[in-house]
C-alpha cells in the first residue's frame, strides 16, 4: 500500500459550523501509536504464543491508511498465524471530525474509487493468506478493500455481521461511544482488546464485567502516558504537545501528537501481569513500617456508609485481613483474580452503601457552607474533629470526610489458608 498522504499540505481551518461538533469528537480522533499496540499485543503473546493463531481479527473504527492497527497486524499476519484480518473505517460525512479527512492516493488511485462514496461510505479492508501482489509474502500490499453499503458505524448490521465472523476485536474505539462499544463487544461474545479511559471502570456497562472477571485491564500503559496522533489542525494543548514530543513524538507531516495520562487497555485476553500476586505486609507490619504516614502508627479506618475498611494505597493492603477492603481504583492495574475477589465499588450510582445520609452541610476548605447530598456519592469516614483546610460534611450531629471512589475487594479463600 502507498503510504503517501494527500494531506501533506496543511489542512484548511475548519468551518465554524463544524467547530463544536468537531470539538466534541476531539477525543474520538486519537490515533494509537505502534509502540503501544506492540507492547500490549506482546503481553498476550508472551502468555499464549498462539493467541491469534487461526483466528479472524476484526479492527473496527479503524482505517489502515491512518491508523497503525491494520498495519501492525498485516505485518504480523504470517508469524501470528492469523486466518483473516478485517479492518473497517467510518465515513467522513458521518463523523463530526470528518472535516479533517483527505482521501489518500491509495484510495484515489484504486479503480473502485468513487468521489461520493469516499465521503459517505465506510470501507472494508481484508487480508487473507493470499499473496495478491505476488511478491512472495502476505502483508499490507495484499490488503483488498471495498466500500461498505453503509457508513461503517460499528453498530450497523453490516459491521455487526463482521463482528460475528470475528474471533477477536481489537481497536481504539471512539471514546464518546465507549459504553456502547463495550455492550456491542459483549453481545458478540468475542475476545477483545480495546483502548479506553480508566474512568470507564466505574461505568455501569463495564464494572459488572470486571466483577465477573469477564473484562480486565490490559498489561501495559497502566499509570503511564499514552501518546496519540491527531489530525493536523486539531487543537492540542501546548503542554500535551510538548510532553508527547519529549516522549519521542514531535509533530510530523501527517500528525500532531498529544498524550493522555488516563488511557489504558481493556481486554478479556489473558496476560501474565494479572497472575502476579501482590507482595504485601500484614496489618501489624503496615502499622509499624508502612511508608505511608496515613497508615504508619495509625492503622486503618472504617467507612461509615460501606461495610469495609479504608486502604488508601494499594501497597498498604494488609495481607492478613479477610473482610472487605476499599482500595483505590488503581488497584485494577495490579489485580490478580487468584489472590483477590472484587465484591463491589464505593461510588454512586453503582455502589451499595449501607446507609444513605439526609441532606448535609458541606463546609468548604475556606469555610463556605452549602446544603448538598454529595456525601452519598462515595465512601465516607466519620471524624472526631473537622479536618483543617479540607472539605467536610456535617449531618445528624456527625462530621464526615468523603474519599475518592474505591473498589471493594476481599482476599480469595484459597489465599487465606495458612501454607
Ligand atoms: C479514537 S479513533 C481511533 C482510530 C484508530 N482505531 C486508532 O486507534 O488509531 C476512533 C475512530 O472511530 C471512528 N468512529 C467514530 N464514530 C464511529 C462509529 N460510530 N462507528 C465506527 N467508527 C467510528 C472515528 O472515525 C475515529 O477514527
Q: How confident is the model at residue 408 (pLDDT cuts 50, 70, 90)?
A: very high
Distance separating alpha carbons of residues 398 and 386, to the nearest angstrom: 10
- Cβ distance 339 to 325 under 8 Å? no
Distance separating alpha carbons of residues 55 and 85, to the nearest angstrom: 9
Joined together, the cell numbers standing for residue 109 give 488511485
29 CB within 6 A, ligand 1: yes
Q: How far is the CA of 262 from the centre of ligand 1 (A)?
A: 18
pLDDT at 9 over 50: no
Provide the greatest CA pair distance for the chain: 81
168-171/56-59 β-pairing: parallel
- The residue with cell 489465599 is 415
Q: pTM value?
A: 0.91
- Residue nearest atom 26 of ligand 1, based on CA coordinates: 29
Distance separating alpha carbons of residues 26 and 236, to the nearest angstrom: 10
The C-alpha R_g of the chain, in whole angstroms, comes to 25
Residue 87 parent element (H or E)? strand 84-88
126 CB within 6 A, ligand 1: no
- The residue with cell 463491589 is 344
pLDDT at 76: 97
Tell me the β-bridge partners of 59.
87
pLDDT at 26: 56
User: Among 21-25, 98-102, 196-200, which range has the highest average pLDDT?
Assistant: 196-200
Omega prior to 349 cis, within 30 of 0: yes
Q: From residue 126, how far is each of 61, 62, 84, 143, 172 by CA, in Å?
A: 14, 12, 7, 6, 19
Joined together, the cell numbers standing for residue 203 give 461505568
Residues 264-289 have a mean pLDDT of 97
Q: How confident is the model at residue 15 (pLDDT cuts 50, 70, 90)?
A: very low
Pocket test for ligand 1, best of 58, 174, 183, 185 (most atoms within 8 A of CB): 174
Q: Which atom of ligand 1 is nearest to the CA of 156?
A: 20
How many CB atoms are closer than 10 A to CB 177? 16
Pocket test for ligand 1, best of 21, 26, 30, 61 (most atoms within 8 A of CB): 61
Q: How confident is the model at residue 254 (pLDDT cuts 50, 70, 90)?
A: confident
Boundaries of every domain in the chain: 6-274, 277-416
- Residue nearest atom 23 of ligand 1, based on CA coordinates: 61
Q: How confident is the model at residue 231 (pLDDT cuts 50, 70, 90)?
A: confident
Pocket test for ligand 1, best of 25, 153, 173, 175 (most atoms within 8 A of CB): 173
Q: How far is the CA of 293 from the centre of ligand 1 (A)?
A: 45
Write out pLDDT tens, residues 191-211.
Answer: 999 999 999 999 999 999 999
Amino acid at each position: 500500500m502507498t503510504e503517501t498522504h494527500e494531506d501533506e499540505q496543511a489542512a484548511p481551518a475548519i468551518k465554524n459550523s463544524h467547530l463544536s461538533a468537531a470539538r466534541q469528537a476531539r477525543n474520538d480522533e486519537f490515533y494509537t501509536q505502534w509502540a503501544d499496540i506492540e507492547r500490549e499485543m506482546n503481553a498476550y503473546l508472551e502468555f499464549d504464543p498462539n493467541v491469534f493463531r487461526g483466528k479472524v481479527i476484526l479492527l473496527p473504527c479503524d482505517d489502515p491508511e491512518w491508523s497503525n492497527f491494520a498495519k501492525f497486524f498485516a505485518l504480523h499476519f504470517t508469524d501470528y498465524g492469523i486466518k483473516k484480518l478485517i479492518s473497517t473505517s467510518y465515513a467522513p460525512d458521518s463523523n463530526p471530525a470528518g472535516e479533517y479527512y483527505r482521501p489518500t492516493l491509495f484510495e484515489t488511485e484504486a479503480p473502485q474509487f468513487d468521489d461520493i462514496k469516499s465521503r459517505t461510505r465506510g470501507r472494508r479492508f481484508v487480508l487473507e493468506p493470499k499473496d495478491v501482489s505476488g511478491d512472495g509474502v502476505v502483508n499490507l500490499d495484499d490488503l483488498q478493500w471495498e466500500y461498505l453499503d453503509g457508513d461503517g458505524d460499528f453498530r450497523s448490521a453490516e459491521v455487526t455481521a463482521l463482528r460475528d465472523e470475528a474471533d477477536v476485536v481489537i481497536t481504539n474505539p471512539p471514546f464518546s461511544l465507549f459504553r456502547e462499544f463495550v455492550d456491542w463487544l459483549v453481545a458478540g461474545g468475542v475476545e477483545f482488546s480495546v483502548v479506553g479511559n480508566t474512568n470507564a471502570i466505574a461505568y455501569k456497562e463495564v464494572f459488572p464485567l470486571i466483577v465477573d472477571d469477564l473484562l480486565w485491564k490490559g498489561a501495559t500503559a497502566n499509570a503511564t502516558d499514552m501518546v496519540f496522533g491527531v489530525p493536523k489542525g486539531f487543537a492540542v494543548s501546548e503542554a500535551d504537545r510538548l510532553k508527547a514530543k519529549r516522549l519521542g513524538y514531535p509533530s510530523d507531516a501527517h500528525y500532531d501528537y498529544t498524550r493522555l495520562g488516563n488511557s489504558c487497555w481493556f481486554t478479556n485476553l489473558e496476560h501474565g501481569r494479572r497472575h502476579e500476586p501482590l507482595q504485601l505486609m500484614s496489618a501489624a507490619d503496615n502499622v509499624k513500617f508502612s511508608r505511608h504516614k496515613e497508615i504508619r502508627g495509625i492503622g486503618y479506618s472504617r467507612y461509615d456508609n460501606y461495610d469495609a475498611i479504608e486502604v488508601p494505597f494499594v501497597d498498604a493492603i494488609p495481607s492478613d485481613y479477610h473482610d472487605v477492603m476499599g482500595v483505590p481504583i488503581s488497584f485494577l492495574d495490579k489485580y490478580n483474580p487468584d489472590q483477590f475477589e472484587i465484591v463491589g465499588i464505593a461510588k454512586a450510582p453503582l455502589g451499595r452503601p449501607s446507609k444513605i445520609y439526609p441532606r448535609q452541610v458541606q463546609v468548604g476548605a475556606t469555610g463556605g457552607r452549602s446544603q448538598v447530598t454529595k456525601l452519598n456519592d462515595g465512601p465516607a469516614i466519620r471524624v472526631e474533629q473537622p479536618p483543617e483546610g479540607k472539605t467536610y460534611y456535617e449531618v445528624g450531629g456527625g462530621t464526615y470526610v468523603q474519599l475518592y471512589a474505591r473498589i471493594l475487594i476481599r482476599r480469595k479463600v484459597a489465599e487465606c489458608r495458612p501454607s
